[in-house]
Amino acid sequence: MTDSIQAPGESPDAADHGAAPAGKYDADIDRLFSAGGPLAPAVGSFSPRRSQTEMAKAIAQAIFDQKTLIAEAGTGTGKTFAYLVPALLWGGKTIVSTGTKNLQDQLFLRDIPTVRAALRAPVSVALLKGRSNYVCHYHLERTMQNGRMTSRDDIGHLREISRFIKMTTSGDKAELAKVPENASIWNLVTSTRDTCMGAECQYYQDCFVMKARREAQQADVVVVNHHLFFADVALKDTGVAELLPSANTIIFDEAHQLPDTATLFFGQTVSTSQILELCRDVLAEGLAHARGGADWAKVVTVVEKAARDLRLTFPQDIMRMSLAQITPSSDFFPALATVKEHLAAMIGVLEEQAARAETIEQVRVRAVELAQSLDGWKADGKGKMVEGDEAVLWVEAFSSSLQLHKTPLSIAPIFNNQREGTPRSWIFTSATLAVKNDFKHFSNQMGLTGEPAQTWPSPFDYEQQGLLYVPSGLPDPNAVGYTDAVVDCALPVIEAAGGRTFFLCTTNRAVKHVAERLRKDFADRGLEYPLFVQGERGRTELLDSFRSAGNAVLVGSQSFWEGVDVRGDALSLVIIDKLPFAPPDDPVLAARIDVMEKQGMNGFMHHTLPEAIINLKQGAGRLIRDETDRGVLMICDPRLISKSYGKRVWQSLPPFKRTRLQSDVIDFFKPAAP
């Protein structure tokens, strides 16, 4: 390392330097990312990429200036190294937040150790997840004692977890591959904000959650995920709040997910399931510690009945409805009043008995918080609430529960409030933040208006490597039989590609229908392509099977549109059934568009269309993942051609050659002449 490189982990101090000279770290970055630099031997496939080097320079400058930067990096740029190198060398205390726990683990276990070793940077790194990811000693012991198991799987899983806790140093359930991440047993052996005993717990000193937080406090670089970051900002429960004051640099990878994640956590949700879970715990604690203090069964039964009756005010299995759409004569309103009334009576009993046990006091606090959330569920005649920031109230019914949501219409003022105070660098990066090189949609959502934004193009030769095919003759996407027409059109193309296809749908219903059709048509045509369908197995298992098959077809919806990396010949065709517009009955979207139109804007052009384009860019990004990849992106939606906004859509996609002829696609897949 040259003497001109500031010591790793040392925080830049803008006050000492004043405004940074342009390109403060440019020479260092050029050397580090050069063919003869330290990254090349550390990464087998490393080769210098101009986009990556220039992006790293911009991030290093933003770190030095303690400024904000919105950085879009085309697929293949190598954005992870572009932000890790300056962060590890000059970022000071750095928080890296990712879109998913999978990417979080990849950064912590693979990418950061690689860069740290290459740079010989003496920085310490910690991984911090939400408390539901760590085994809780107290709840594990309690579950083993009272045996609330509902299946044979639970018993076997519990045995594995009890062995695991004796060997693990982190308590992170991701380390225990023998127990599936979604196994029901995890709910019984992990804590929540409501059920954690805190400093009163006998296992407090050994607590894995507290250990992870202590390590994060001391580390130079902490890896979190967006859910954790915003849950903390909203609830102050994950340890990030303790990290923020000392952080010099915050980096959001997969930043296009931030508006939805922040909206989720800055809102408020109360569900009938939460109420029933509270009742279960009140009964257990009451009988255990204050059996003679009240008729506990009677106390909880009336609340449980009221919660179930509230769910039954909506007959449909699954639906979403804003408060404004619920008729004033609906049973919902009196049923909600009954829940509040009986919950208040239960709180009264708990207050009388709380002194008998710490756990009774705990359930009392939970009950009070639930009651406060329900009290907040009051609205004006239009179903909107104004409490500083406008919010929309809406209900979501599932087969056995009802959720009451209060969602802010804009997170910009709330997020801006979080960014005020101590000067620090904020980096927002993703492959999909702009619409035709315009960042307004993302920056307006996040309250980043006026902040610098830049795009670094992909190093891939899209014109040679890919083909955009929009078939002709398909009906309107809302027409009856549209999905069948799409499958009819897709079959010859799938055959030409030899399988090797992602068939991405905008709805779960379409996934099911496409899978049924392909299963039948493959059999009828004698096509022996393995067919994998979202929901039939876990996402990771499906992807591993798809890669190893080499000629498979995978049908999926939203979870396969992003964060999926299949390189090489296994994936050569991506079919997208429709432009991914949000469902028009989405209550939050409807309310946001309503506000925009009152301000004189066009809700479709300013919100719905940019959202769909960013989503489509993610789906399209599955196709070309490497310099040697070749493939066809088939977008079946005729609106791409027939509507005036279609040009804006395809101009935001990678610059593939374009065709409407099936024969061009068949030719594309023919082997090159020797």
**531 and 618, same domain (yes or no):** yes
Residues 6+ apart with CB under 8 A from 169: none
Evaluate whether residue 286 is within a structural domain. yes
Same domain for 359 and 500? no
Let me know whether 379 and 471 are in one domain.
no
Judge whether 527 lies within some domain: yes
Q: At 115, list the tokens.
A: 């860069």
Last residue of a domain, one of 344, 378, 408: 408
Final residue before a domain boundary, out of 408, 426, 446: 408
Contact (CB, 8 A) for 256 and 442: yes
CA distances from 245 to 129, 417, 421, 424, 526 (A): 19, 14, 9, 10, 63
pLDDT at 384: 53
**Residue at 424: amino acid letter:** R
Q: What is the pLDDT of residues 23-52, one digit of tens each?
A: 789 999 999 999 889 998 887 777 889 999
The one-letter code for the residue type at 341 is E
Residue 450 CB-density burial (10 A; 0-12 exposed, 13-18 middle, 19+ buried): exposed
Indicate whether 457 pLDDT > 70.
yes
Is the pLDDT at 83 greater than 70, yes or no?
Answer: yes
Q: Is residue 576 part of a domain?
A: yes
Cα-to-chain-centroid distance, residue 323: 27
- Tens digit of pLDDT for each residue in 240-268? 667 777 889 999 999 999 999 988 888 88
**β partners of residue 268:** 406
> Is residue 506 located within the same domain as residue 607?
yes
Contact yes or no for 388/376 (Cβ under 8 A): no
Amino acid, single-letter form, for residue 493: V
Residue 634, strand partner residues: 469, 575
Give me the amino acid identity at 250: I
**Inside any domain, residue 474:** yes
Residue with tokens 């070749």: 630
**Quick check: 653 and 617 in contact, CB under 8 A?**
yes
Q: Mark out the alpha helices in 354-453 (DSSP H runs).
A: 358-375, 412-419, 440-446
Over range 91-102, report the average pLDDT.
90
Q: How far is CA 415 from CA 35, 206, 212, 345, 447, in A?
A: 40, 34, 26, 37, 7
pLDDT higher than 70, residue 303: yes
Q: How confident is the model at residue 381 (pLDDT cuts 50, 70, 90)?
A: low
How far, in Å, CA of 429 to CA of 184, rounded?
Answer: 35
The identity of residue 24, as a single letter, is: K
Give the DSSP H or E segment for 241: helix 240-243
The better pLDDT of the pair 540, 454 is held by 454
Listed residues 389, 408, 427: the one ending a domain: 408
Q: What is the DSSP letter of 526?
A: T
Mean pLDDT value of segment 347-362: 90
- The average pLDDT across 601-628 equals 90
In a domain, 9, yes or no: no
**3-class SS of residue 461:** coil
pLDDT over 90 at 330, yes or no = no
Pick the range with the lowest mean pLDDT from 233-237, 426-430, 637-641.
233-237
Specify the higher pLDDT residue, 479 or 558. Answer: 479
Read off the pLDDT band of 493 (50, 70, 90): very high
3-class SS of residue 320: strand
Positive or negative torsion for Cα 314, 318, 324, 327: negative
Mean pLDDT of the chain: 87
pLDDT exceeds 50 at position 19? no
The Cα–Cα gap between 81 and 121 comes to 14
Distance CA 185, CA 151 (A): 10
Integer distance in angstroms from the first to the last C-alpha of the chain?
48
Same domain, 489 and 605: yes
Domain count along the chain: 2
Distance CA 457, CA 75 (A): 8
**pLDDT value at residue 362:** 87
Which of 100-109, 302-311, 394-403 shows the highest mean pLDDT? 302-311
pLDDT tens digits, 396-450: 998 889 999 988 888 898 888 888 878 999 999 999 999 988 999 999 999 999 9
DSSP state string for 91-128: -SSEEEEESSHHHHHHIIIIIHHHHHHHHT----EEE-
Q: Domain check: are 390 and 308 in the same one?
A: yes
The helix/strand/coil state of 623 is coil
Q: Give the H or E element holding residue 158.
A: helix 152-167
| pLDDT over threshold 80, residue 590 | yes
Q: Same domain, yes or no, for 388 and 474?
A: no
CATH number at residue 655: 3.40.50.300
pLDDT band at 10, cuts 50/70/90? very low
Can you read off the two tokens belonging to residue 131?
């408390």
**367 lies in the same domain as 466:** no
In a domain, residue 79? The reply is: no
Residue 662: its H or E element: helix 662-669
403 and 478 both lie in a single domain:
no
Across 4-8, 152-156, 160-164, least confident range: 4-8
pLDDT at position 657: 95
Asked if 389 and 408 touch (Cβ cutoff 8 Å), the reply is yes
- Residues 514, 608 share a domain: yes
Q: What is the mean pLDDT of residues 348-353?
A: 92
The rounded distance, in Å, linking the Cα atoms of 354 and 660 is: 71
Q: Which residue has the tokens 């009774």?
A: 360
Q: Would you say residue 207 has pLDDT above 60?
A: yes
Burial of 193 (0-12, 13-18, 19+ CB in 10 A): middle
In this predicted structure, which of 98-112, 141-155, 213-227, 230-244 has the lowest mean pLDDT? Answer: 230-244
**Residue reference for tokens 């591959």:** 177
Q: Inform me whether the pLDDT recorded for 237 exceeds 70.
A: no
pLDDT for position 672: 65
3-state helix vs strand vs coil in the chain, percent to 5: 50, 15, 35
- SS3 category, 525: helix
Spatial neighbors of 4 by CB under 8 A, at least 6 apart, are: 27, 28
Q: Which of 101-110, 228-237, 581-590 has the lowest mean pLDDT?
A: 228-237
Q: Please compute the mean of the pLDDT values over residues 543-548 and round it to a whole number.
A: 91
Assigned token pair, 462: 């899209």
CB within 8 Å of 431: residues ≥ 6 apart: 72, 73, 74, 75, 77, 79, 617, 618, 621
394 and 466 in a common domain: no
Q: What is the phi/psi pair of residue 119, to 5°?
A: -85, -10
Which DSSP symbol is given to 200? Answer: G
Please name which of 235, 46, 61 lies closest in space to residue 131, comparing C-alpha atoms: 235
C-alpha to C-alpha distance for 278 and 362, rounded to whole angstroms: 10
Determine the Cα–Cα distance for residues 447 and 109; give it in Å rounded to an integer. 33
* pLDDT for the residue numbered 380: 56
Cα separation, 391 vs 4, in Å, equals: 51
Residue 630 domain flag: yes
Contact 119, 214 (CB under 8 A): no
- 539 shares a domain with 397: no
The domain in which residue 506 lies consists of: 462-669
Lowest mean pLDDT among 154-168, 225-239, 383-397, 493-507: 383-397
- Matching residue, tokens 């995920």: 225
Residue 669 CA to residue 272 CA, distance in Å, equals 53
Which of the given ranges, 488-502, 552-566, 615-629, has the highest pLDDT on average?
A: 488-502
Residue 473 lies in a domain: yes
pLDDT of residue 17: 34
Least reliable range by pLDDT among 99-113, 226-240, 555-569:
226-240
Q: What would the mean pLDDT of 527-552 be, rounded to a whole number?
A: 90
